[in-house]
């Protein structure tokens, strides 16, 4: 069995031309598998089965291997069995129909209302930059738009009188998102007193501009947010998407229906939006456990 493994690695090297690191990865994964087969008393690959491979994967999972590592191990085993079948060493491929382990969906990071308020209070709207930054943060939390959508906004995308903005999301799909009173106030302050002083050319269409009077970039906004996040002292990593996640979760916690939140976020599929319901359910359970006398 060890000799067959060497033949397989040689095949990958010569026929497939795989890199040294990839070959080492295959060899490492498959040596562990052969050791497992040896412990099971299996000396012929024809004695293996789908059940045996699944038992091996289950053992690796029990040993604490990450889903990504398990997926790679299974991919190595699949390729190996394809080679065995091709070389007529086995008659049937027990790994042919095996599915890769599914990674658990990680719940998005959401800030509490207290932490959101702390973050939004960081920009001091006394200077031009402060007014701009305050307006941007308030707008992100008020609408849940993506940072790419934020920096793409033009003056004519915002209607403060009617209280909404128009943005273009993924797939060039346009949507209308309402604005809250606090965001409107911050935007009015920025547009009346800050933006004009940052401009270098009066015909600039961008809503948010940098110190050179040009459209602010995504990277530029990331730096701005990072600066204010550090000032808060909040231990949670804060990214532009954290505000988007917090926007959606806080809406659902306060009774918004899922379909409306989907529309505001610009999700094509409602299943993408449903992840936020898991967060609200988790919070409800925590509150129950903390407050119910017989929890």
The total of structural domains in the chain comes to: 2
Is 197 part of any domain? Answer: yes
Say whether both 82 and 120 belong to one domain: no
Exactly one of 33, 81, 228, 276 is catalytic; which is it? Answer: 276
Q: What is the mean pLDDT of residues 50-75?
A: 88
Q: Is residue 105 part of a domain?
A: no
Q: Do residue 135 and residue 56 come from a single domain?
A: no
146 is catalytic: yes
What average pLDDT does the segment 182-196 reach?
94
pLDDT value at 294 more than 70: no
Is residue 292's pLDDT more than 60? no
DSSP annotation string for 179-201: --HHHHHHHHHIIIIIHHHH-SS
Residues 58 and 189 in one domain: no
Active site residue 215: no
Residue pLDDT, tens place only, 214-247: 999 999 999 999 999 999 999 888 988 899 999 9
Assigned domain for 203 exists:
yes
| Judgement on whether residues 125 and 42 belong to the same structural domain of the protein | no
What pLDDT does residue 85 have? 92
Residue 223's CATH number: 1.10.443.10
- Is residue 60 domain-shared with residue 187, that is, in the same domain? no
DSSP code per residue over 200-213: SSTT--BSSB-TTS
Contacts of 81 (CB under 8 A, 6+ apart): 45, 90, 93, 94, 95, 96
107-159 pLDDT, tens digit each: 678 899 999 999 999 998 889 999 999 999 999 999 999 999 999 999 999 99
My answer on whether 164 and 286 are in the same domain is: yes
pLDDT tens track for 80-103: 999 999 999 998 899 887 776 665
> Residue 41 and residue 60: Cα distance in Å, rounded?
18
Which tens digit of pLDDT belongs to each residue from 67-77?
A: 888 888 899 99
Q: Report in angstroms the alpha-carbon separations of 171 from 82, 168, 175.
A: 39, 8, 12
Structure tokens at 267: 């999700």
d(CA 70, CA 192) in angstroms, rounded, equals 57
Hey, CA dihedral for 56, 61, 64, 70, is it positive or negative?
positive
Catalytic entry in 32, 214, 267, 283: 267
Q: Average of pLDDT values for 46-70?
A: 88
User: Are 181 and 80 in a shared domain?
Assistant: no
Q: Note if 292 is an active site residue.
A: no
| Residue among 71, 69, 73, 85 at smallest CA distance from 11 | 85
**Which residue is catalytic, options 33, 56, 81, 146?**
146
Please report the pLDDT score of residue 281 as a whole number. Answer: 67
Which residue in the list 6, 170, 212, 218 is annotated as catalytic? 170
State the DSSP code for 166.
E
Q: Is residue 81 part of a domain?
A: yes
Do residue 48 and residue 174 come from a single domain? Answer: no
Question: How many other CB atoms are found less than 10 A from the CB of residue 285?
Answer: 11
Is residue 9's pLDDT more than 70? yes
Strand pairing partners for 174?
Answer: 168
Q: Which domain holds residue 66?
A: 2-86
More confident: 287 or 31: 31
pLDDT of residue 114: 94
Out of 132, 195, 244, 250, pick the active-site residue: 244
250 has catalytic annotation: no
Cα 54 from chain centre? 29
* 98 in a structural domain: no
Whether 205 sits among the annotated catalytic residues: the reply is no
Q: Which two tokens stand for residue 90?
A: 């086995």
Mean pLDDT on 2-15: 91
Position 287 scores a pLDDT of 59
Distance CA 244, CA 110 (A): 9
| Domain presence at residue 95 | no
Q: DSSP 3-state assignment of 102? A: coil
In a domain, residue 97? The reply is no
pLDDT of residue 267: 85
The pLDDT score that the predictor gives to residue 293 is 67
Whether 123 and 222 share a structural domain: yes
Query: Is position 267 annotated as part of the catalytic site?
Result: yes
């Amino acid at each position: 069995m060890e000799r067959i493994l060497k033949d397989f690695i040689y095949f990958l090297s010569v026929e497939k031309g795989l890199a040294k690191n990839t070959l080492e990865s295959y060899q490492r994964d498959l040596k562990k598998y052969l050791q497992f087969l040896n412990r099971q008393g299996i000396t012929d690959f024809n004695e293996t089965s789908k059940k045996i491979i699944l038992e091996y994967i289950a053992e690796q999972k029990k040993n604490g291997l990450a889903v990504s590592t398990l997926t790679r191990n299974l991919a190595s085993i699949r390729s190996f069995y394809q080679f065995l079948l091709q070389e007529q060493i086995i008659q049937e491929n027990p790994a042919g129909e095996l599915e890769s382990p599914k990674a658990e969906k990680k719940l998005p990071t959401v800030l509490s209302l207290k932490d959101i308020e702390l973050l939004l209070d960081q920009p001091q709207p006394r200077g031009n930059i402060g007014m701009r930054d305050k307006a941007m943060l308030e707008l992100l939390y008020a609408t849940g738009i993506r940072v790419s959508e934020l920096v793409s906004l033009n003056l004519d995308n915002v209607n403060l009188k009617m209280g909404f903005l128009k943005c273009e999301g993924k797939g060039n799909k346009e949507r209308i998102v309402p604005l809250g009173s606090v965001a409107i106030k911050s935007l009015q302050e920025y547009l009346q007193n800050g933006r004009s002083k940052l401009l270098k050319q009066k015909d600039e269409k961008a809503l948010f501009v940098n110190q050179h009077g040009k459209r602010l970039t995504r990277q530029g906004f990331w730096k701005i947010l990072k600066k204010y996040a550090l000032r808060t002292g909040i231990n949670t990593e804060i990214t532009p998407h954290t505000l988007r996640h917090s926007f959606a979760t806080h809406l659902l916690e306060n009774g918004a229906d899922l379909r409306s939140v989907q529309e505001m976020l610009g999700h094509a599929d409602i299943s993408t939006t449903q992840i936020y319901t898991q967060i609200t359910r988790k919070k409800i359970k925590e509150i129950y456990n903390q407050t119910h006398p017989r929890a």
